[in-house]
Amino acid sequence: MEFFTDEVMNGLLSKSLETAALGENGFYDIGKGPGSEEGAYIDWLTVADRNKAVIDDVARIRRHALVPKNIPIYGYVYDVKTGNLIEVPEATKIGAI
């Protein structure tokens, strides 16, 4: 969800409902209309900064009333190319006991 924004998704869907292509300058529409404006009502849950997103999520979990304070919470990013988990040290620090 890092490769596009809600605005990009909404723009692509407003032009056509075909699968977009990814070029050097980002996604672009390759279909023929009609599109739909309904994409504007969907939160696509895009991620502008994945490490910050992990930090924010761990902080939210840490503050949650139903999560005991004696349970450590860790923050990782999954690397789809290698299959490895990459720790986000600041998130793990926030989630520590």
State how far the alpha carbon of 50 is from the alpha carbons of 7, 17, 22, 34, 60, in Å: 18, 28, 20, 33, 15
Q: Does residue 34 sit in the same domain as residue 54?
A: no
Q: Does residue 76 sit in the same domain as residue 54?
A: yes
Tokens at residue 92, please?
């793990």
Residue range(s) defining the domain that contains residue 24: 6-41
Pairing of strands 76-78, 26-28: unpaired
Whether 64 maps to a domain, the answer reads yes
* 3-class state of residue 97 by DSSP: coil
For 8-19, the pLDDT digits (tens) are: 889 999 999 998
pTM, rounded to two decimals: 0.70
Return the closest-CA partner of residue 10 out of 53, 48, 50, 43: 43
Whether 24 maps to a domain, the answer reads yes
Q: Is the pLDDT of residue 20 over 70?
A: yes
> What is the arithmetic mean of pLDDT over 35-60?
93
Q: Does residue 70 sit in the same domain as residue 89?
A: yes
* 3-class state of residue 93 by DSSP: helix
Q: How many domains does the chain have?
A: 2
Q: Does residue 90 sit in the same domain as residue 55?
A: yes
Give the pLDDT confidence score for residue 1 in this predicted structure: 66
Q: Which residue has the tokens 């919470």?
A: 73
Angstrom distance (rounded) from CA 27 to CA 9:
9
Whether 1 maps to a domain, the answer reads no
